[in-house]
Amino acid sequence: MKSHAKVVVIGGGVVGCSVLYHLTKFGWKDVVLLERSELTSGSTWHAAGGMHTINGDPNVAKLQKYTVELYKEIEEYSGQDIGLHLTSGLMLAATPQRFDWLKSILAKGRYNGLEATLLTPKEAHEMMPLLDPDQFVGALYDPVEGHLDPYGTTHAYARSAKKNGADIYLHTKVEELVQREDGSWRVITNQGEIIAEHVVNAAGLWAREVGRMVGLELPVLAMEHMYLITEDMPEVIDFNKTTGKELMHCVDFDGEIYLRQERQGMLMGTYEKACRPWSPVTTPWDFGHELLAEDIERITPELEVGFRHFPAFNNAGIKKIINGPFTFSPDGNPLVGPVRGLRNYWSACAVMAGFSQGGGVGLALANWMIYGDPGFDVFAMDVSRYGDYATLAYTNAKVRENYARRFSIRYPNEELPAARPLLTTPIYDKLKEAGGVFGAYYGLEQALWFAPKGEEDQFSWRRSNDFDVVGAEAKAVRDSLGLMETSGFAKYSVKGPGAEAFLDNLLTCRIPAIGRMTLAPMLKHDGKLIGDFTLAKLGEGDFLLIGSGIAEAYHMRWFEGLLPKDGSVELQALGLSLLGLSIAGPNARKLMQKLTHQDLSTEAFPFMSIRRMDLGMASAIVGRVSYTGDLGYEIWMKPEHQRYIFDLLMEEGAEFGIRLFGLRALNALRLDKSYGSWSREYRPLYGPLEAGLGRFVALSKPADFIGKAAAAKEKAEGGALRLRTFILAAKDADVIGDEPIYHNGAVCGWVTSGGYAHAFGLSVAVGYVPKEIADEAQGWSIELLGEILPARPQVDPLFDADGARMRA
């Protein structure tokens, strides 16, 4: 075995081999893969080998498309047969709600070039005669689906990598990882030791254990999974004979099953409700090429539906039942990327659909390691989307929920209940008492709306029972005064003699004066957005940075990678040690002035001011800003003061009819102003000019901030896209995000978010379109739940276009 390598990839499943191949493809030859047994000795060998491009997240869908398109290339390059069967596929809907969902998937895929089509049950039956058309209301046909041989595919990646110069050592188990002072790793195996600059955890079923070798508890858990294979079926033989084709891949969501042809019989697998984790605490090292005991009773309810939907199965003999484990993260997407706080340790695990996603994971990770950037927007599978709250028990609850719901519909207004409540703030009970309906973001319970007694969300694709109440909450803000909790934002303290220079280099904005705030976009080196913050200067060398809550670990990883080594900057994610409340509306100042002796007049405390002040008996940091776009204040306090300040605001605000509002009303209010939000309008896909943030990019400031050259180029050349707001002729539903935007009948862009602007009674959609047509007044439409609806551009914000109220 070699003594040194640039990279050691741990694990020779389909994912590790794909990572190895991509590293060599992009030019890193000194790379090694260590496999404790033979290649495919984890979950890979017994996979059903199904693959498809469709995914609810368009960014993940792109990587799946890449994976499927890669197969021909690696087969040819390696000379290894991968048993590719591109049969095409059907996604079936047995209920109108499911058919709505399929329509939304089709719409989302349009701007990514998804070539799918909707079918009637009769048309679906003509393509796939095993299904009973009376059981379904419609289907989505996807030409790019099929299955392959897991063993051959893994070996094709491995052979291709070897051909490019990689080394693979089998029967070499990594037992310990010790970091050296220079950041490289001692990779200690049962066959000796290798020094590696980087290690990649692609240990699949043992990813948790390989994480624990460096003190990491990765949120990943294996679940048992079963599929059955039938004896030869006359219906299959007959179809093959008469058409010369194989039967196609099918996902029957309402039956919670998938099926495909296997030789001259069929394979049917389920994501059963009565699911079972495998090895919930530690994975045994002696587990290898063996299967788990079959347990047909556990999957009988799903099989019964499957057999009803596909009656030919009733006459088929069952040849084999496979039960094997494979891993999931809490939301079912992979955990990819550099691990925060660890140098040169990379994650490529929790890949539950290795044959749809393995290529994309390998591509993104190799890009990241070699070029410092994944090359795509991979937040949906970035390991940093989870924080410390994602413990072993949290992961267990969420993975079971996710597995059991793998084929279930998640409505846009549906919050999933497992592992909740976990993180709460001191006023949680008070908000709950007031009717709070909550969602959990980054583990924290946050109020969405305040329901009348006994009511909860009725899940729907269309406007639901919260509609009028959310409207009243939003109107209360515009008419008088509203209060919401803002603890869910991420808050960072940046202090020290080097803090100002650090931030000046990190953010595109000018550093504000003491007592002032500014909007602060953050760019990558290529000039794309990786953050949008509010930056406040509290004192000399003392800054508060406020950003998106879900991106806390993601942003900390970025900040920490750029901190000066001389200790001149003290950076801390404040998490729930600093909590927030916000009041907004025309009476906001009157209320605040009742609580403090400080002068809050516009002259003394204008828009974008920030200062520490006492509110009653409590001390807080108060900023004159509100994401509602209204006259408003953000109040930041220690947790032990939150109940007191909350009660004070509610009591003293009673004379103005203060009303609690939640995140849904906030969404309506920010739409009135066309404000963007992180992970929707602002993502690593867009430049600041495209996103309408150009005025916060201070190209003339002396600091050579990250992305400056690229931002200057974007400004000179104009970028490609523009963010625009549209008013949609919607009737009973509003956009959610990812719907296609049409201009003169052709798809030209996509919605990033939207909703209903209650104060104006208008359905709003925000999205990106090509700059060349962005200012056209006519010709726009947007597809919503299968209908193409006329849209008109909204050039100025609906509310307070000149900012007079906000700055008053």
β-bridge partners, 262? 265
In angstroms, give the least distance from the CB of 146 to ligand FAD: 10
Measured CA to CA, the distance from residue 759 to residue 327 in angstroms comes to: 46
β-bridge partners, 32? 8, 167
Long-range contacts of 619-625 (CB under 8 A, 24+ apart): 620/645, 621/536, 621/538, 621/544, 622/592, 622/596, 623/517, 623/534, 623/536, 624/600, 625/517, 625/534
In angstroms, give the least distance from the CB of 305 to ligand FAD: 19
21, 35, 400, 613: which one binds ligand FAD (CB under 6 A): 35
Which range binds ligand FAD by CB under 6 A, 4-12, 407-415, 419-427, 649-657? 4-12
Q: Are 508 and 688 in contact (CB under 8 A)?
A: yes
Residue 205 sits in the site that holds ligand FAD (CB under 6 A): yes
Residue 219 sits in the site that holds ligand FAD (CB under 6 A): no
23, 28, 50, 85: which one binds ligand FAD (CB under 6 A): 50
> In the complex with ligand FAD, which residue's Cβ is closer, 119 or 336?
336
Which range binds ligand FAD by CB under 6 A, 36-44, 499-507, 535-543, 754-762? 36-44
Residue 13 sits in the site that holds ligand FAD (CB under 6 A): yes
Measured CA to CA, the distance from residue 572 to residue 458 in angstroms comes to: 40
Rounded to the nearest 5°, which phi and psi values hold at 491?
Answer: -130, 135
In angstroms, give the least distance from the CB of 321 to ligand FAD: 10
What separation in angstroms does the CA of 281 have from each of 206, 393, 419? 11, 9, 17
> In the complex with ligand FAD, which residue's Cβ is closer, 47 or 520?
47
Measured CA to CA, the distance from residue 185 to residue 199 in angstroms comes to: 7
Residue with tokens 């001191």: 426
> In the complex with ligand FAD, which residue's Cβ is closer, 291 or 422?
291
Q: Are 619 and 634 in contact (CB under 8 A)?
A: no
Cβ neighbors of 593 (< 8 A, separation 6 or more) are 600
Residue 792 sits in the site that holds ligand FAD (CB under 6 A): no
In angstroms, give the least distance from the CB of 464 to ligand FAD: 34
Q: Are 302 and 270 in contact (CB under 8 A)?
A: yes
7, 10, 431, 769: which one binds ligand FAD (CB under 6 A): 10
What separation in angstroms does the CA of 156 have from each of 20, 148, 165, 352, 637? 11, 12, 14, 20, 57
**What is the Rg, in whole angstroms, of the alpha carbon atoms belonging to the chain?**
27
Residue 756 sits in the site that holds ligand FAD (CB under 6 A): no
Beta-strand pair 192-201/4-10:
parallel
Among positions 175-204, residues that touch ligand FAD (CB under 6 A) are: 202-204
In angstroms, give the least distance from the CB of 169 to ligand FAD: 9
Which range binds ligand FAD by CB under 6 A, 246-254, 320-328, 582-590, 775-783? 320-328
Residue 34 sits in the site that holds ligand FAD (CB under 6 A): yes
In angstroms, give the least distance from the CB of 279 to ligand FAD: 12
In angstroms, give the least distance from the CB of 174 to ligand FAD: 4
> In the complex with ligand FAD, which residue's Cβ is closer, 95 or 191?
191
> In the complex with ligand FAD, which residue's Cβ is closer, 285 or 371?
285
What separation in angstroms does the CA of 124 have from each of 109, 267, 522? 20, 19, 48
> In the complex with ligand FAD, which residue's Cβ is closer, 14 or 621?
14
9, 31, 32, 48: which one binds ligand FAD (CB under 6 A): 48
| Nearest alpha carbon to residue 363 among 76, 11, 25 | 25
Among positions 224-243, residues that touch ligand FAD (CB under 6 A) are: 225, 227
Among positions 54-73, residues that touch ligand FAD (CB under 6 A) are: none
Largest CA distance in the chain: 88
**Strand positions, DSSP E, 574-644:** 579-584, 610-615, 618-623, 632-637
> In the complex with ligand FAD, which residue's Cβ is closer, 55 or 794?
55
Residue 737 sits in the site that holds ligand FAD (CB under 6 A): no
Among positions 321-350, residues that touch ligand FAD (CB under 6 A) are: 322, 324-326, 349
> In the complex with ligand FAD, which residue's Cβ is closer, 191 or 598?
191
First and final C-alpha spacing in the chain: 72
Measured CA to CA, the distance from residue 434 to residue 408 in angstroms comes to: 31
Residue 42 sits in the site that holds ligand FAD (CB under 6 A): yes
> In the complex with ligand FAD, which residue's Cβ is closer, 41 or 763?
41
> In the complex with ligand FAD, which residue's Cβ is closer, 87 or 356?
356
DSSP string, 148-181: --HHHHHHHHHHHHHHTT-EEESS--EEEEEE-T
128, 156, 210, 248: which one binds ligand FAD (CB under 6 A): 210
Q: Helix %, strand %, coil % for the chain, to 5? A: 30, 30, 40
- The one-character DSSP state at 208 is H
In angstroms, give the least distance from the CB of 419 to ligand FAD: 23
**C-beta atoms surrounding 269 within 10 Å:** 21
In angstroms, give the least distance from the CB of 15 to ligand FAD: 3
In angstroms, give the least distance from the CB of 315 to ligand FAD: 25
Residue with tokens 């009243």: 472
> In the complex with ligand FAD, which residue's Cβ is closer, 267 or 584?
267
Measured CA to CA, the distance from residue 172 to residue 189 in angstroms comes to: 6
What separation in angstroms does the CA of 60 have from each of 377, 487, 529, 552? 9, 30, 19, 21
Q: Are 602 and 807 in contact (CB under 8 A)?
A: yes
The size of the interface with ligand FAD (CB under 6 A), counted in residues, is 42
7, 8, 14, 499: which one binds ligand FAD (CB under 6 A): 14
In angstroms, give the least distance from the CB of 406 to ligand FAD: 12
In angstroms, give the least distance from the CB of 210 to ligand FAD: 5
Which range binds ligand FAD by CB under 6 A, 6-14, 435-443, 515-523, 726-734? 6-14
Among positions 605-634, residues that touch ligand FAD (CB under 6 A) are: none
Measured CA to CA, the distance from residue 81 to residue 151 in angstroms comes to: 10
Beta-strand pair 192-201/345-349:
parallel
In angstroms, give the least distance from the CB of 124 to ligand FAD: 21
Give the per-residue contact string, 155-174, with ligand FAD (x = CB under 6 A; - = no): ------------------xx
Residue 653 sits in the site that holds ligand FAD (CB under 6 A): no
> In the complex with ligand FAD, which residue's Cβ is closer, 11 or 662?
11
Measured CA to CA, the distance from residue 637 to residue 445 in angstroms comes to: 18
338, 354, 549, 719: which one binds ligand FAD (CB under 6 A): 354
60, 248, 353, 706: which one binds ligand FAD (CB under 6 A): 353
Q: Which residues bind ligand FAD (CB under 6 A)?
A: 10-16, 34-37, 41-44, 46-51, 173-174, 202-206, 210, 225, 227, 322, 324-326, 349, 351-356
